[in-house]
Amino acid sequence: MVFMRFRPQLIFSSLPRCIPKPRTPPAATLAAAAARRRHHTTAVFTSMAAPSEDVLRRALAERQAAVDAQAEAVRALKAGGGASKAGGGASKADVDAAVEALKALKIEAGAAARRLQQAVGAGAGGAAREELRQAVVNTLERKLFYIPSFKIYRGVAGLYDYGPPGCRVKANVLSFWRQHFVLEENMLEVDCPCVTPEIVLKASGHVEKFTDLMVKDEKTGTCYRADHLLKDFCKEKLEKDLTLPQEKADEFKRVLAILDDLSAEELGAKIKEYGIVAPDTKNPLSDPYPFNLMFQTSIGPTGLSVGYMRPETAQGIFVNFKDLYYYNGQKLPFAAAQIGQAFRNEISPRQGLLRVREFTLAEIEHFVDPEDKSHPKFVDVADLEFLMFPREMQLSGESAKLMKLGEAVSKGTVNNETLGYFIGRVYLFLTCLGIDKGRLRFRQHLPNEMAHYAADCWDAEIESSYGWIECVGIADRSAYDLRAHSEKSGVPLVAHEKFSKPREVEKLVIVPSKKDLGLAFKGNQKMVLEALEAMSEKEALEMKAALETQGETIFKVCTLGKDVVITKKMVSISMEKKLEHQRVFTPSVIEPSFGIGRIIYCLFEHSFYTRPSKSEEEQLNVFRFPPLVAPIKCTVFPLVKNQEFDDAAKVIAKALTTAGISHIIDTTAISIGRRYARTDEIGVPFAVTVDSTANVTIRERDSKEQVRVDINKVASVVQQLTEGQTTWGEVCEKYPAHVGPQGDQE
């Protein structure tokens, strides 16, 4: 996984840059800090792109001031205290005119308030999104796509089951993922345990850094995510308080933008400053402190061996690098992949099905020579064109725009061909599943979102009722992960490039003189010695020159925090020629990481629509899943209940089974229209209705068109349709249309 959860160091802290930032958490997939951050930064940049909010806020303030002034004037007129007319009260006509003017001003102010409300997202658009989500989620839960886990025990926040149709959709998505990535690219798939010993996650940085900041209700002990409370407070102010002065609005927006960069102290200070209290009890809150998001456990019976449920699947691949490299005949590049459960003990899960405590990840680690990130199959995706959102466009307030992938790589917008290749493959994967091209964009990480070691990162973001959701992260993580495990385990995780003939290379040789250093620096000798040995080639050559010309030089020793004087006899620096037979290097890794649950949820939203029933009294729900994804490919309906039709249905079902087409027979004694509606609601693409024993009809879900097909051919036609060998259009041309008495959508 790609993202860093905590980047305070990068921005606010004074930690030296040489301390590695944590390898980061499944942000890419579920519940990510990165997603939070992005959500906000995006919100800010969006408002920059359409700066009407500021203008509207000012306009509203002006209108409101005008209303206030006019109201004051009306009051003065009515009180007769107007100074304009000598001695007498204002005329009724004057008062009436003033009141009319006030009314007009109030209408204007009202309109301005509505415009502002819409602009800040609390208006009709937000409500429509909320309504769509409710309709989708209701259908999903009613049809058991999802079930809140352990429901009879009142459930556990952030845990959901996939019920029967959901489970099939998930299996279809994973099976297509395997086909599209693992088989197509001959990746080495592995399957590692979820239970992971502490040392692995220490090396990856998760034990130290995989945390969220938490506050507690000081009286009840209830826990909250500190950034959530601050975010809610600021959003509430911005959306509901339309009279907010512009400076205050700007401040809250700034806080939202930097929310994820705030340190514990800074978050605590803001919470105090704004007087934020526990939402449920209004009790005071503790100071924020880090809470590690891994589920901890103990391996074996002694209680001494700490383990965690893995927060991502990637580490299982990295620790196997050496074996996999040998398995691949010691050749680069190659990719390894893993599908599996990952875990994340969220403090207080929100966003329903998107932010959960256990989820399925599918991750690829593509290992390449850092000196050659070209990809032989890049040409296959170079002509793809889709919405891209490079960092420059985000920073300049533009929106994502259609770009050709080939150009994005050749212009250097995307760092290298391999990264570009995976971006293209991810685009194909998502759109084949049924994700709407218009609501899919590839967003590049901003400089402050990326780990310092990362070469480039792009997220596939899908627009849903929750906004733009990060569903796949595609990152060039350089050699960071392999290096971290090499260091911790002492096992070199490296690749070799054998030279066809040995090469002469110049190598820097630094030989400190322990004796002279000891005499000069006593107890500090070791630190000076290490600092000398750690010099870069450039530093060493500068020192060599200085020592040769001046005999001594000033040298800064970080670990001592001071400068020391180095003389000529303390160190010998030279460039020596050597013959090398091979190059040994740590491969770079390019990591596409898929949050399967998030992709599926967005797919549900993108596939959902409603249409009126025939009687137009109710809306019917439909999921327009492509056959690839549909939980069931075909239903078989005997039109009326009789033995002949039932037998014919069984013959068709048997043929479908042989053809490997999942299907159900629905013999319930309700109208055919009702039965169509019922399977439309779980997204079954084709229905076979048995109204004769010689030939039957096939109905397509979205067009509701029907054709007549011989009973012995029906299974093979459905097979061709579901496997993409023919289209519905072609079938309609080939077979006679059915326009019979069978009702549809009663």
- Choice between 57 and 598, CB closer to its own copies: 598
- Choice between 66 and 664, CB closer to its own copies: 664
Q: Tell me the residue ranges of DSSP E strands in 375-430.
A: 385-389, 401-404
**Maximum distance among all alpha carbons in the chain?**
112
Q: How far is the CB of 3 from its own copies (least distance, A)?
A: 21
For residues 331 and 369, give the distance between their C-alpha atoms in angstroms, rounded to a whole number: 10
Nearest alpha-carbon partner for 157 in 21, 299, 351, 314: 351
What b-and-e string marks burial along 20-57, b requiring 16 or more CB atoms within 10 Å of the CB?
A: ebbbbbbbbbbbbbbbbbbbbbbbbbbbbeeeebeebb
Q: How far is the CB of 167 from its own copies (least distance, A)?
A: 4
The three-state DSSP-derived secondary structure of 98-149 is: HHHHHHHHHHHHHHHHHHHHHHCCCCHHHHHHHHHHHHHHHHHHHCCCEEEC
If DSSP codes are grouped into helix, strand and coil, which group holds residue 351? coil
- Choice between 170 and 445, CB closer to its own copies: 170
Q: How far is the CB of 229 from its own copies (least distance, A)?
A: 14
Q: How far is the CB of 680 from its own copies (least distance, A)?
A: 17
Q: How far is the CB of 304 from its own copies (least distance, A)?
A: 8
- Choice between 90 and 278, CB closer to its own copies: 278
- Choice between 421 and 521, CB closer to its own copies: 421
- Choice between 196 and 695, CB closer to its own copies: 196
- Choice between 145 and 252, CB closer to its own copies: 145
Q: How far is the CB of 663 from its own copies (least distance, A)?
A: 9
For residues 594 and 104, give the distance between their C-alpha atoms in angstroms, rounded to a whole number: 55
- Choice between 178 and 704, CB closer to its own copies: 178
Strand order of the β-sheet with 588-595 is 334-343, 358-368, 588-595, 467-476, 456-464, 440-444, 385-389, 401-404
Q: How far is the CB of 388 from its own copies (least distance, A)?
A: 29
Strands 289-292 and 160-162: unpaired
- Choice between 355 and 708, CB closer to its own copies: 355
- Choice between 301 and 523, CB closer to its own copies: 301
**CA distances for 233 relative to 174, 226, 228, angstroms:** 39, 11, 8
Q: How far is the CB of 662 from its own copies (least distance, A)?
A: 6
Helix (H) or strand (E) holding 460: strand 456-464
Q: Which residue has 């019922």 as its token pair?
A: 678
For residues 190 and 317, give the distance between their C-alpha atoms in angstroms, rounded to a whole number: 7
Q: How far is the CB of 165 from its own copies (least distance, A)?
A: 9
For residues 297 and 294, give the distance between their C-alpha atoms in angstroms, rounded to a whole number: 9
Q: How far is the CB of 147 from its own copies (least distance, A)?
A: 6
Residue-level length of the chain: 746
Q: Which residue has 């595609």 as its token pair?
A: 474
For residues 416 and 174, give the distance between their C-alpha atoms in angstroms, rounded to a whole number: 27
User: CB count, 10 Å around CB of 66?
Assistant: 17
Q: How far is CA 75 from the centre of its chain?
A: 56
- Choice between 8 and 307, CB closer to its own copies: 307
For residues 347 and 324, give the distance between their C-alpha atoms in angstroms, rounded to a whole number: 37
Q: How far is the CB of 581 from its own copies (least distance, A)?
A: 20
For residues 382 and 403, give the distance between their C-alpha atoms in angstroms, rounded to a whole number: 11
Q: How far is the CB of 450 from its own copies (least distance, A)?
A: 27
- Choice between 162 and 601, CB closer to its own copies: 162
Nearest alpha-carbon partner for 433 in 254, 181, 145: 181
- Choice between 464 and 486, CB closer to its own copies: 486
Q: How far is the CB of 180 from its own copies (least distance, A)?
A: 11
